[in-house]
Structure 1
Amino acid sequence: MPAKKKINAVPVPRVRASNRKRVAKPASAVTSMEKKIIFGSSVIILILMVSLHISGCFNDLKASKLNRDYINFPEFGIHLPTSYSIHGFDVSVHQGLLNWDLLEKAESGNVKLDFVFIKATEGRTKVDRYYKHNWQQAKKHGFIRGAYHYLLPNKSGKDQAKLFLKTVDLEEGDFVPVCDIEVTAGVDKEMIEQCVQDWLDTVEETVGKKPIIYTSKKFYESYLSDSFSDYPLWIAHYYVPGLDLEDNNKWHFWQHSDKARIKGISKRLDFNVFNGSMDELNLFRI
Protein backbone atom coordinates (compact mmCIF):
# COMPACT_ATOMS: atom_id res chain seq x y z
CA MET A 1 0.00 0.00 0.00
CA PRO A 2 1.35 3.42 -0.69
CA ALA A 3 2.41 5.33 2.32
CA LYS A 4 -0.19 7.71 3.77
CA LYS A 5 0.41 11.36 3.10
CA LYS A 6 1.29 13.31 6.18
CA ILE A 7 -1.24 15.97 6.79
CA ASN A 8 0.24 19.09 8.30
CA ALA A 9 -1.81 20.38 11.26
CA VAL A 10 -3.09 23.93 10.74
CA PRO A 11 -2.32 25.94 13.85
CA VAL A 12 -5.37 27.47 15.51
CA PRO A 13 -4.82 31.17 16.04
CA ARG A 14 -4.91 32.29 19.66
CA VAL A 15 -7.49 34.90 20.39
CA ARG A 16 -6.25 37.80 22.42
CA ALA A 17 -8.23 38.62 25.47
CA SER A 18 -8.93 42.12 24.13
CA ASN A 19 -10.52 40.67 21.00
CA ARG A 20 -12.79 38.27 22.74
CA LYS A 21 -16.44 39.01 22.28
CA ARG A 22 -17.91 40.38 25.48
CA VAL A 23 -21.05 38.79 26.70
CA ALA A 24 -23.78 41.40 27.22
CA LYS A 25 -25.37 41.58 30.63
CA PRO A 26 -28.91 40.42 30.80
CA ALA A 27 -31.43 43.27 31.02
CA SER A 28 -32.07 42.43 34.64
CA ALA A 29 -28.48 42.86 35.63
CA VAL A 30 -28.52 46.46 37.01
CA THR A 31 -25.56 47.87 38.84
CA SER A 32 -25.78 49.24 42.36
CA MET A 33 -25.21 52.78 41.08
CA GLU A 34 -28.02 52.46 38.54
CA LYS A 35 -30.35 51.26 41.27
CA LYS A 36 -29.51 54.34 43.35
CA ILE A 37 -30.19 56.65 40.40
CA ILE A 38 -33.53 54.99 39.65
CA PHE A 39 -34.54 55.11 43.31
CA GLY A 40 -33.52 58.76 43.67
CA SER A 41 -35.43 59.75 40.55
CA SER A 42 -38.51 57.92 41.78
CA VAL A 43 -38.34 59.73 45.12
CA ILE A 44 -38.03 63.13 43.40
CA ILE A 45 -41.00 62.38 41.14
CA LEU A 46 -43.03 61.24 44.14
CA ILE A 47 -42.17 64.41 46.08
CA LEU A 48 -43.17 66.58 43.10
CA MET A 49 -46.45 64.74 42.73
CA VAL A 50 -47.23 65.13 46.43
CA SER A 51 -46.28 68.83 46.32
CA LEU A 52 -48.50 69.46 43.32
CA HIS A 53 -51.33 67.62 45.02
CA ILE A 54 -50.93 69.63 48.23
CA SER A 55 -50.67 72.87 46.24
CA GLY A 56 -53.79 71.96 44.30
CA CYS A 57 -55.66 71.15 47.50
CA PHE A 58 -54.53 74.46 49.04
CA ASN A 59 -55.68 76.41 45.99
CA ASP A 60 -58.99 74.55 46.01
CA LEU A 61 -59.45 75.37 49.70
CA LYS A 62 -58.53 79.02 49.08
CA ALA A 63 -60.96 79.25 46.18
CA SER A 64 -63.63 77.51 48.22
CA LYS A 65 -63.18 79.97 51.10
CA LEU A 66 -63.26 82.94 48.71
CA ASN A 67 -66.48 81.70 47.20
CA ARG A 68 -68.01 81.10 50.63
CA ASP A 69 -67.14 84.68 51.61
CA TYR A 70 -68.47 86.18 48.37
CA ILE A 71 -72.14 86.52 49.23
CA ASN A 72 -75.09 88.02 47.41
CA PHE A 73 -76.71 90.96 49.20
CA PRO A 74 -80.05 91.62 47.47
CA GLU A 75 -80.44 94.89 49.39
CA PHE A 76 -77.35 96.22 47.58
CA GLY A 77 -77.92 94.28 44.36
CA ILE A 78 -74.38 92.84 44.32
CA HIS A 79 -72.11 90.21 45.85
CA LEU A 80 -69.89 91.40 48.69
CA PRO A 81 -66.55 89.98 49.90
CA THR A 82 -67.61 89.48 53.53
CA SER A 83 -64.17 88.47 54.82
CA TYR A 84 -63.53 92.24 55.05
CA SER A 85 -65.31 94.12 57.81
CA ILE A 86 -64.89 97.75 56.70
CA HIS A 87 -66.99 98.83 53.72
CA GLY A 88 -67.34 102.10 51.85
CA PHE A 89 -68.27 103.76 48.56
CA ASP A 90 -67.11 106.53 46.26
CA VAL A 91 -69.00 109.23 44.39
CA SER A 92 -68.60 111.90 41.75
CA VAL A 93 -70.71 114.05 39.46
CA HIS A 94 -71.82 110.84 37.72
CA GLN A 95 -74.10 109.97 40.67
CA GLY A 96 -75.79 113.36 40.58
CA LEU A 97 -77.22 115.02 43.69
CA LEU A 98 -77.33 112.29 46.35
CA ASN A 99 -79.60 111.77 49.34
CA TRP A 100 -77.03 111.39 52.12
CA ASP A 101 -79.65 110.44 54.70
CA LEU A 102 -80.26 107.24 52.73
CA LEU A 103 -76.54 106.58 52.40
CA GLU A 104 -76.05 106.90 56.15
CA LYS A 105 -78.89 104.44 56.84
CA ALA A 106 -77.82 101.90 54.18
CA GLU A 107 -77.23 98.58 55.92
CA SER A 108 -77.67 94.87 55.29
CA GLY A 109 -76.91 92.21 57.88
CA ASN A 110 -73.62 93.17 59.48
CA VAL A 111 -72.58 95.34 56.52
CA LYS A 112 -72.80 99.12 56.77
CA LEU A 113 -70.93 101.90 55.02
CA ASP A 114 -68.11 103.47 57.02
CA PHE A 115 -66.15 105.59 54.54
CA VAL A 116 -66.48 107.48 51.27
CA PHE A 117 -64.09 108.83 48.65
CA ILE A 118 -65.30 111.93 46.79
CA LYS A 119 -64.09 113.25 43.46
CA ALA A 120 -62.77 116.79 43.84
CA THR A 121 -60.82 117.75 40.73
CA GLU A 122 -59.72 116.65 37.26
CA GLY A 123 -56.83 117.78 35.10
CA ARG A 124 -55.49 121.32 35.59
CA THR A 125 -58.75 123.30 35.80
CA LYS A 126 -61.84 121.15 36.40
CA VAL A 127 -63.60 120.98 39.77
CA ASP A 128 -66.30 118.32 40.22
CA ARG A 129 -69.73 119.94 40.17
CA TYR A 130 -70.95 118.18 43.32
CA TYR A 131 -67.67 118.08 45.22
CA LYS A 132 -68.48 120.78 47.76
CA HIS A 133 -71.96 119.38 48.49
CA ASN A 134 -70.70 115.81 48.83
CA TRP A 135 -67.75 116.88 50.97
CA GLN A 136 -69.95 118.72 53.44
CA GLN A 137 -72.63 116.02 53.56
CA ALA A 138 -70.11 113.24 54.14
CA LYS A 139 -68.86 114.96 57.27
CA LYS A 140 -72.37 115.82 58.44
CA HIS A 141 -73.47 112.17 58.19
CA GLY A 142 -70.47 110.74 60.01
CA PHE A 143 -68.53 109.12 57.17
CA ILE A 144 -64.76 108.93 57.14
CA ARG A 145 -64.15 110.96 54.01
CA GLY A 146 -61.41 111.30 51.43
CA ALA A 147 -60.98 113.33 48.24
CA TYR A 148 -59.47 112.24 44.95
CA HIS A 149 -58.06 113.90 41.85
CA TYR A 150 -58.57 112.43 38.36
CA LEU A 151 -55.11 112.70 36.83
CA LEU A 152 -54.49 113.39 33.14
CA PRO A 153 -50.91 112.26 32.44
CA ASN A 154 -50.57 114.48 29.36
CA LYS A 155 -50.82 117.56 31.63
CA SER A 156 -48.43 118.86 34.28
CA GLY A 157 -48.60 116.74 37.43
CA LYS A 158 -47.52 119.68 39.59
CA ASP A 159 -50.20 121.98 38.18
CA GLN A 160 -52.86 119.33 38.76
CA ALA A 161 -51.69 118.85 42.34
CA LYS A 162 -51.90 122.59 42.97
CA LEU A 163 -55.50 122.64 41.74
CA PHE A 164 -56.38 119.79 44.10
CA LEU A 165 -54.70 121.39 47.13
CA LYS A 166 -56.35 124.74 46.39
CA THR A 167 -59.80 123.12 46.09
CA VAL A 168 -59.91 120.58 48.92
CA ASP A 169 -60.23 121.77 52.49
CA LEU A 170 -58.60 118.85 54.30
CA GLU A 171 -59.28 118.47 58.01
CA GLU A 172 -57.94 116.26 60.75
CA GLY A 173 -59.47 112.79 60.41
CA ASP A 174 -59.87 112.93 56.62
CA PHE A 175 -58.11 110.37 54.46
CA VAL A 176 -54.85 111.37 52.81
CA PRO A 177 -55.40 112.61 49.22
CA VAL A 178 -55.90 110.13 46.39
CA CYS A 179 -54.39 110.24 42.90
CA ASP A 180 -56.76 108.54 40.44
CA ILE A 181 -54.72 107.40 37.44
CA GLU A 182 -56.48 105.10 34.97
CA VAL A 183 -55.89 106.50 31.46
CA THR A 184 -52.76 106.95 29.35
CA ALA A 185 -54.10 110.04 27.54
CA GLY A 186 -51.91 109.07 24.60
CA VAL A 187 -48.54 109.28 26.39
CA ASP A 188 -45.96 106.57 27.07
CA LYS A 189 -45.14 104.79 30.33
CA GLU A 190 -42.24 107.09 31.19
CA MET A 191 -44.41 110.21 30.91
CA ILE A 192 -47.17 108.56 32.95
CA GLU A 193 -44.70 107.72 35.72
CA GLN A 194 -43.27 111.24 35.73
CA CYS A 195 -46.70 112.90 35.90
CA VAL A 196 -47.86 110.62 38.72
CA GLN A 197 -44.64 111.17 40.67
CA ASP A 198 -44.87 114.96 40.29
CA TRP A 199 -48.44 114.93 41.62
CA LEU A 200 -47.58 112.65 44.53
CA ASP A 201 -44.47 114.62 45.53
CA THR A 202 -46.25 117.98 45.40
CA VAL A 203 -49.14 116.75 47.54
CA GLU A 204 -46.92 114.91 50.02
CA GLU A 205 -44.85 118.05 50.59
CA THR A 206 -48.00 119.85 51.73
CA VAL A 207 -49.86 117.07 53.56
CA GLY A 208 -46.87 115.32 55.13
CA LYS A 209 -48.05 111.79 54.27
CA LYS A 210 -47.86 109.59 51.22
CA PRO A 211 -51.01 109.93 49.08
CA ILE A 212 -53.03 106.90 47.98
CA ILE A 213 -52.94 105.73 44.35
CA TYR A 214 -56.22 104.61 42.78
CA THR A 215 -56.11 102.59 39.58
CA SER A 216 -57.35 99.40 37.96
CA LYS A 217 -55.56 96.10 38.46
CA LYS A 218 -54.57 95.98 34.80
CA PHE A 219 -53.30 99.57 34.72
CA TYR A 220 -51.25 99.06 37.90
CA GLU A 221 -49.60 95.93 36.54
CA SER A 222 -48.95 97.51 33.13
CA TYR A 223 -47.73 100.99 34.10
CA LEU A 224 -47.22 101.50 37.84
CA SER A 225 -45.92 98.41 39.64
CA ASP A 226 -42.27 99.11 38.75
CA SER A 227 -42.17 102.55 40.40
CA PHE A 228 -45.06 102.94 42.86
CA SER A 229 -45.36 99.67 44.77
CA ASP A 230 -44.46 101.40 48.05
CA TYR A 231 -47.51 103.71 47.94
CA PRO A 232 -50.88 102.86 49.50
CA LEU A 233 -52.99 101.23 46.80
CA TRP A 234 -56.69 101.42 46.00
CA ILE A 235 -57.37 98.92 43.23
CA ALA A 236 -60.44 98.57 41.01
CA HIS A 237 -61.21 94.96 40.03
CA TYR A 238 -64.85 94.01 39.57
CA TYR A 239 -67.18 91.04 40.05
CA VAL A 240 -64.64 88.56 41.45
CA PRO A 241 -64.42 87.00 44.94
CA GLY A 242 -60.79 87.98 45.56
CA LEU A 243 -57.98 90.33 44.56
CA ASP A 244 -54.30 89.46 44.11
CA LEU A 245 -51.70 91.56 42.31
CA GLU A 246 -49.05 90.03 40.03
CA ASP A 247 -46.20 91.46 42.12
CA ASN A 248 -47.86 90.16 45.33
CA ASN A 249 -47.89 93.71 46.68
CA LYS A 250 -50.44 94.44 49.38
CA TRP A 251 -53.43 96.51 48.34
CA HIS A 252 -55.25 98.61 50.94
CA PHE A 253 -58.59 99.49 49.33
CA TRP A 254 -60.45 97.39 46.78
CA GLN A 255 -63.20 98.78 44.55
CA HIS A 256 -64.96 95.47 43.91
CA SER A 257 -68.17 96.64 42.20
CA ASP A 258 -69.52 99.58 40.23
CA LYS A 259 -73.13 98.37 40.26
CA ALA A 260 -74.26 98.69 43.88
CA ARG A 261 -77.74 99.98 44.62
CA ILE A 262 -79.12 101.86 47.61
CA LYS A 263 -82.88 101.93 48.03
CA GLY A 264 -84.18 105.38 47.07
CA ILE A 265 -81.06 106.31 45.06
CA SER A 266 -81.46 106.00 41.30
CA LYS A 267 -77.80 105.87 40.25
CA ARG A 268 -75.54 102.90 40.88
CA LEU A 269 -72.57 103.29 43.23
CA ASP A 270 -69.02 101.99 43.44
CA PHE A 271 -68.53 99.81 46.53
CA ASN A 272 -65.19 99.26 48.27
CA VAL A 273 -63.62 97.37 51.15
CA PHE A 274 -60.56 98.11 53.28
CA ASN A 275 -57.93 95.42 53.72
CA GLY A 276 -57.37 95.62 57.46
CA SER A 277 -58.70 96.70 60.85
CA MET A 278 -60.06 100.08 61.91
CA ASP A 279 -56.76 100.86 63.64
CA GLU A 280 -54.97 100.16 60.36
CA LEU A 281 -57.48 102.28 58.46
CA ASN A 282 -56.75 105.20 60.77
CA LEU A 283 -53.11 105.17 59.60
CA PHE A 284 -54.33 106.58 56.28
CA ARG A 285 -56.05 109.55 57.92
CA ILE A 286 -54.60 113.00 58.48
Structure 2
Amino acid sequence: MIARVAAFLLVLAVAACGSGAGKPPAPPGVLFSANFRDADPVDFANPKPSRFAVHGIDAARFQTSIDWNTARANGVNFAFLKATEGGDLLDPAFKDHWRRSGQAAVLRGAYHFYYFCTTPEVQARWFIRNVPRSKGTLPPVLDMEWNPFSPTCAKVRPPAAEVQRQMRVWLDIVEAHYGQRPVIYTTPRFYEENRLGQFKGYEFWLRTTAKTPREAYPGQRWRFWQYSATGLIPGIRGKVDLNAFNGSRDDWQAWVARNTR
Protein backbone atom coordinates (compact mmCIF):
# COMPACT_ATOMS: atom_id res chain seq x y z
CA MET A 1 0.00 0.00 0.00
CA ILE A 2 2.80 2.42 0.93
CA ALA A 3 4.57 1.64 -2.33
CA ARG A 4 1.40 2.38 -4.36
CA VAL A 5 0.90 5.71 -2.54
CA ALA A 6 4.52 6.67 -3.12
CA ALA A 7 4.21 5.83 -6.83
CA PHE A 8 1.01 7.87 -7.09
CA LEU A 9 2.65 10.89 -5.46
CA LEU A 10 5.60 10.56 -7.84
CA VAL A 11 3.26 10.64 -10.85
CA LEU A 12 1.59 13.80 -9.50
CA ALA A 13 4.95 15.45 -8.96
CA VAL A 14 6.10 14.68 -12.50
CA ALA A 15 2.81 15.96 -13.95
CA ALA A 16 3.10 19.19 -11.97
CA CYS A 17 6.62 19.77 -13.23
CA GLY A 18 5.57 19.18 -16.81
CA SER A 19 2.74 21.70 -16.58
CA GLY A 20 4.80 24.38 -14.84
CA ALA A 21 2.51 24.26 -11.79
CA GLY A 22 4.55 24.85 -8.66
CA LYS A 23 7.78 24.48 -10.60
CA PRO A 24 10.61 26.58 -9.14
CA PRO A 25 12.33 28.99 -11.53
CA ALA A 26 15.60 28.04 -13.18
CA PRO A 27 18.59 29.87 -11.68
CA PRO A 28 19.16 33.43 -12.94
CA GLY A 29 21.33 33.60 -16.03
CA VAL A 30 20.22 30.27 -17.50
CA LEU A 31 19.19 30.81 -21.13
CA PHE A 32 16.45 28.90 -22.92
CA SER A 33 15.92 28.40 -26.65
CA ALA A 34 12.85 30.07 -28.11
CA ASN A 35 9.86 27.76 -28.45
CA PHE A 36 7.77 30.48 -30.11
CA ARG A 37 5.10 30.34 -32.78
CA ASP A 38 3.49 33.17 -34.72
CA ALA A 39 -0.18 33.58 -35.57
CA ASP A 40 0.79 35.67 -38.60
CA PRO A 41 4.31 34.64 -39.60
CA VAL A 42 6.47 36.72 -41.95
CA ASP A 43 9.10 35.30 -44.27
CA PHE A 44 11.85 37.79 -43.41
CA ALA A 45 14.91 38.28 -45.55
CA ASN A 46 18.19 37.45 -43.84
CA PRO A 47 18.91 37.65 -41.05
CA LYS A 48 15.70 35.98 -39.92
CA PRO A 49 14.71 36.26 -36.24
CA SER A 50 15.48 32.57 -35.77
CA ARG A 51 19.15 33.34 -36.49
CA PHE A 52 19.44 35.12 -33.15
CA ALA A 53 20.21 33.17 -30.01
CA VAL A 54 18.40 35.14 -27.30
CA HIS A 55 14.71 36.05 -27.42
CA GLY A 56 12.18 37.69 -25.14
CA ILE A 57 8.91 39.61 -25.03
CA ASP A 58 7.37 42.92 -24.07
CA ALA A 59 4.15 42.93 -22.09
CA ALA A 60 1.47 45.35 -20.93
CA ARG A 61 -2.13 45.24 -19.72
CA PHE A 62 -3.15 43.33 -22.85
CA GLN A 63 -1.30 40.27 -21.56
CA THR A 64 -3.83 39.30 -18.92
CA SER A 65 -2.40 35.90 -17.98
CA ILE A 66 1.26 34.92 -17.97
CA ASP A 67 2.71 31.85 -16.26
CA TRP A 68 6.20 33.30 -16.12
CA ASN A 69 7.97 30.05 -15.18
CA THR A 70 6.48 28.28 -18.19
CA ALA A 71 7.12 31.23 -20.48
CA ARG A 72 10.73 31.41 -19.40
CA ALA A 73 11.26 27.70 -19.94
CA ASN A 74 9.98 28.24 -23.50
CA GLY A 75 12.46 30.96 -24.34
CA VAL A 76 11.35 34.19 -22.66
CA ASN A 77 14.82 35.14 -21.47
CA PHE A 78 13.96 38.81 -21.00
CA ALA A 79 10.88 41.00 -20.77
CA PHE A 80 10.29 44.70 -21.22
CA LEU A 81 7.21 45.68 -19.20
CA LYS A 82 5.10 48.73 -19.84
CA ALA A 83 5.11 50.93 -16.76
CA THR A 84 3.90 54.44 -17.53
CA GLU A 85 2.43 56.81 -20.11
CA GLY A 86 2.67 60.57 -20.09
CA GLY A 87 2.65 62.14 -16.66
CA ASP A 88 -0.17 60.34 -14.89
CA LEU A 89 -0.95 56.93 -16.40
CA LEU A 90 0.30 53.69 -14.82
CA ASP A 91 -0.23 50.47 -16.74
CA PRO A 92 -2.63 48.47 -14.52
CA ALA A 93 -0.70 45.22 -15.10
CA PHE A 94 2.77 46.61 -14.43
CA LYS A 95 3.11 45.80 -10.73
CA ASP A 96 1.88 42.25 -11.21
CA HIS A 97 4.05 41.62 -14.29
CA TRP A 98 7.07 43.11 -12.51
CA ARG A 99 6.64 41.01 -9.40
CA ARG A 100 5.83 37.71 -11.08
CA SER A 101 8.49 37.95 -13.78
CA GLY A 102 11.04 38.69 -11.07
CA GLN A 103 9.92 35.65 -9.09
CA ALA A 104 10.54 33.52 -12.21
CA ALA A 105 14.04 35.05 -12.59
CA VAL A 106 13.15 36.55 -15.97
CA LEU A 107 15.50 39.44 -16.65
CA ARG A 108 13.14 42.41 -16.80
CA GLY A 109 13.06 46.12 -17.49
CA ALA A 110 10.41 48.84 -17.65
CA TYR A 111 9.40 51.20 -20.42
CA HIS A 112 7.69 54.58 -20.64
CA PHE A 113 5.35 55.61 -23.47
CA TYR A 114 6.06 59.27 -24.23
CA TYR A 115 3.37 61.95 -24.67
CA PHE A 116 4.05 65.30 -26.31
CA CYS A 117 1.45 67.21 -24.30
CA THR A 118 3.32 66.78 -20.99
CA THR A 119 6.79 68.08 -20.19
CA PRO A 120 9.66 65.58 -20.17
CA GLU A 121 10.49 66.51 -16.57
CA VAL A 122 7.00 65.54 -15.38
CA GLN A 123 7.09 62.30 -17.37
CA ALA A 124 10.52 61.34 -16.04
CA ARG A 125 9.40 61.92 -12.44
CA TRP A 126 6.26 59.84 -13.04
CA PHE A 127 8.32 56.94 -14.37
CA ILE A 128 10.73 57.17 -11.42
CA ARG A 129 7.83 57.26 -8.97
CA ASN A 130 6.43 53.96 -10.29
CA VAL A 131 9.44 51.86 -11.33
CA PRO A 132 11.60 50.40 -8.54
CA ARG A 133 15.37 50.60 -8.54
CA SER A 134 15.62 46.84 -8.33
CA LYS A 135 18.93 45.02 -8.48
CA GLY A 136 19.63 43.04 -11.64
CA THR A 137 17.19 44.81 -13.95
CA LEU A 138 17.52 45.86 -17.58
CA PRO A 139 17.97 49.54 -18.47
CA PRO A 140 14.87 51.75 -18.61
CA VAL A 141 13.33 52.22 -22.05
CA LEU A 142 11.92 55.37 -23.64
CA ASP A 143 9.18 54.45 -26.12
CA MET A 144 9.10 57.11 -28.85
CA GLU A 145 6.31 56.88 -31.41
CA TRP A 146 3.39 59.01 -32.53
CA ASN A 147 0.21 58.38 -30.56
CA PRO A 148 -2.82 58.64 -32.89
CA PHE A 149 -5.29 57.48 -30.23
CA SER A 150 -4.86 60.04 -27.46
CA PRO A 151 -7.79 62.53 -27.30
CA THR A 152 -5.42 65.27 -26.11
CA CYS A 153 -2.02 64.47 -27.67
CA ALA A 154 -2.74 62.90 -31.04
CA LYS A 155 -2.20 66.13 -32.98
CA VAL A 156 0.73 67.41 -30.94
CA ARG A 157 3.74 66.71 -33.16
CA PRO A 158 6.72 68.99 -32.51
CA PRO A 159 9.49 69.44 -35.07
CA ALA A 160 12.37 66.99 -34.99
CA ALA A 161 14.74 69.28 -33.09
CA GLU A 162 12.19 69.75 -30.30
CA VAL A 163 11.46 66.01 -30.20
CA GLN A 164 15.14 65.29 -29.71
CA ARG A 165 15.47 68.00 -27.05
CA GLN A 166 12.61 66.52 -25.03
CA MET A 167 14.04 63.04 -25.40
CA ARG A 168 17.40 64.13 -23.98
CA VAL A 169 15.76 65.79 -20.98
CA TRP A 170 13.84 62.60 -20.08
CA LEU A 171 16.84 60.38 -20.75
CA ASP A 172 19.20 62.47 -18.61
CA ILE A 173 16.85 62.55 -15.61
CA VAL A 174 16.13 58.84 -15.74
CA GLU A 175 19.77 57.86 -16.25
CA ALA A 176 20.82 59.95 -13.26
CA HIS A 177 18.24 58.23 -11.05
CA TYR A 178 18.82 54.59 -12.06
CA GLY A 179 22.50 54.75 -12.93
CA GLN A 180 21.78 53.07 -16.27
CA ARG A 181 21.77 54.57 -19.74
CA PRO A 182 18.25 54.04 -21.14
CA VAL A 183 17.44 52.27 -24.41
CA ILE A 184 15.30 53.98 -27.07
CA TYR A 185 12.37 52.13 -28.67
CA THR A 186 10.93 53.50 -31.89
CA THR A 187 9.05 52.80 -35.11
CA PRO A 188 10.13 53.34 -38.74
CA ARG A 189 7.91 56.39 -39.30
CA PHE A 190 8.86 58.13 -36.07
CA TYR A 191 12.54 57.33 -36.62
CA GLU A 192 12.52 58.85 -40.11
CA GLU A 193 10.40 61.92 -39.37
CA ASN A 194 12.46 62.87 -36.33
CA ARG A 195 15.87 62.05 -37.79
CA LEU A 196 16.76 59.65 -35.01
CA GLY A 197 19.59 58.30 -37.10
CA GLN A 198 21.36 61.47 -35.92
CA PHE A 199 20.57 60.78 -32.25
CA LYS A 200 23.81 59.40 -30.89
CA GLY A 201 24.95 57.84 -27.66
CA TYR A 202 22.07 55.42 -27.06
CA GLU A 203 21.20 51.87 -28.01
CA PHE A 204 18.04 51.23 -30.00
CA TRP A 205 15.19 48.75 -29.75
CA LEU A 206 13.56 48.80 -33.18
CA ARG A 207 10.06 47.77 -34.20
CA THR A 208 9.78 46.27 -37.67
CA THR A 209 7.38 43.40 -38.23
CA ALA A 210 7.49 43.19 -42.04
CA LYS A 211 11.14 43.93 -42.84
CA THR A 212 14.48 43.32 -41.17
CA PRO A 213 16.06 46.22 -39.26
CA ARG A 214 18.61 46.53 -42.05
CA GLU A 215 15.80 47.16 -44.53
CA ALA A 216 13.59 49.35 -42.33
CA TYR A 217 16.37 51.41 -40.69
CA PRO A 218 19.28 51.50 -43.16
CA GLY A 219 22.60 52.04 -41.43
CA GLN A 220 21.17 52.07 -37.90
CA ARG A 221 22.86 49.93 -35.26
CA TRP A 222 20.44 48.18 -32.93
CA ARG A 223 20.37 46.08 -29.79
CA PHE A 224 16.81 44.67 -29.77
CA TRP A 225 14.40 43.89 -32.62
CA GLN A 226 10.65 43.67 -32.07
CA TYR A 227 9.82 41.39 -34.96
CA SER A 228 6.24 40.29 -34.27
CA ALA A 229 3.08 41.47 -32.53
CA THR A 230 1.36 38.11 -32.95
CA GLY A 231 3.58 35.71 -31.05
CA LEU A 232 2.26 32.58 -29.35
CA ILE A 233 4.21 31.19 -26.39
CA PRO A 234 3.34 28.39 -23.94
CA GLY A 235 2.42 29.98 -20.64
CA ILE A 236 1.04 33.20 -22.18
CA ARG A 237 -2.65 33.54 -22.96
CA GLY A 238 -3.23 35.26 -26.30
CA LYS A 239 -0.79 37.03 -28.56
CA VAL A 240 2.36 38.80 -27.45
CA ASP A 241 5.19 40.84 -28.98
CA LEU A 242 8.34 38.88 -29.81
CA ASN A 243 11.84 40.34 -29.58
CA ALA A 244 15.38 39.27 -30.41
CA PHE A 245 18.70 40.41 -28.99
CA ASN A 246 21.35 41.30 -31.55
CA GLY A 247 24.20 38.97 -30.69
CA SER A 248 25.24 35.54 -29.51
CA ARG A 249 24.63 34.02 -26.07
CA ASP A 250 28.09 35.20 -25.00
CA ASP A 251 27.31 38.68 -26.33
CA TRP A 252 24.11 38.67 -24.27
CA GLN A 253 25.89 37.69 -21.07
CA ALA A 254 28.48 40.41 -21.62
CA TRP A 255 25.84 43.04 -22.43
CA VAL A 256 23.82 42.12 -19.34
CA ALA A 257 26.93 42.35 -17.15
CA ARG A 258 27.60 45.88 -18.45
CA ASN A 259 24.05 47.21 -18.40
CA THR A 260 22.16 45.78 -15.44
CA ARG A 261 22.25 47.35 -12.00
1:208, distance to aligned residue in structure 2 (A) = 2.5
TM-score (norm 2): 0.73
In the TM superposition, residue 229 of structure 1 has moved relative to its aligned partner by 3.1
Q: Is the 8 A contact 1:175 1:285 kept in 2?
A: yes
The Cα of 1:75 is off from its aligned counterpart by 4.0
Contact 1:274 1:281 in 2 (8 A): no
The offset of 1:248, in angstroms, is 1.2
The answer to whether the Cα contact below 8 Å between 2:71 and 2:235 also exists between their aligned partners in 1 is: no
Give the match for residue 262 of structure 1: 233
Larger radius of gyration: 1
Closer/same/farther in 2, CA of residues 125 and 103 from structure 1, 3 Å limit: same
User: What is the count of residue pairs matched by the alignment?
Assistant: 210
Is 1:155 the counterpart of 2:118? The answer is yes
Structure 2 CA distance for partners of 1:246 and 1:258, relative to 1, 3 Å = closer
1:208 maps to 2:179: yes
Residue 173 of structure 2 aligns to a residue whose secondary structure is helix
Partners of 1:140 and 1:176 lie apart in 2 by 19
Contact 2:208 2:216 in 1 (8 A): no
- The aligned counterpart of 1:95 is 63
Equivalent in the alignment of 2:260: 285
Of residues 179, 184, 188, the one that matches 2:158 is 188
Distance, in Å, in 1 between the alignment partners of 2:195 and 2:253 is 28
1:118-137 alignment, distance < 5 Å: 118-137=81-100
1: CA distance, partners of 2:235 / 2:219? 39
How far apart are residue 76 of structure 1 and its match?
Answer: 4.4
- Partners of 2:186 and 2:212 in 1: CA distance: 18
Greater RCO, CA 8 A, separation 6+? 2
Identity among equivalent pairs (%):
29
- Structure 2: gaps (5+ residues): 1-34, 43-47, 148-153
Q: CA RMSD in A?
A: 2.3
Could you say what secondary structure the match of 1:254 adopts? strand
> Which residue of the partner structure matches residue 171 of structure 1?
134
- Normalising by structure 1, report the TM-score: 0.67
Equivalent runs, 1:1-286 vs 2, <5 Å = 75-77=37-39, 78=41, 81-106=49-74, 112-183=75-146, 185=154, 186-189=156-159, 190-225=161-196, 227-241=198-212, 243-244=214-215, 246=217, 248-263=219-234, 265-276=236-247, 277-282=251-256, 283-286=258-261
- Alignment partners' CA distance in 2, 1:226 and 1:259: 28
Change over 3 Å in CA distance of 1:90–1:267 after alignment to 2: same
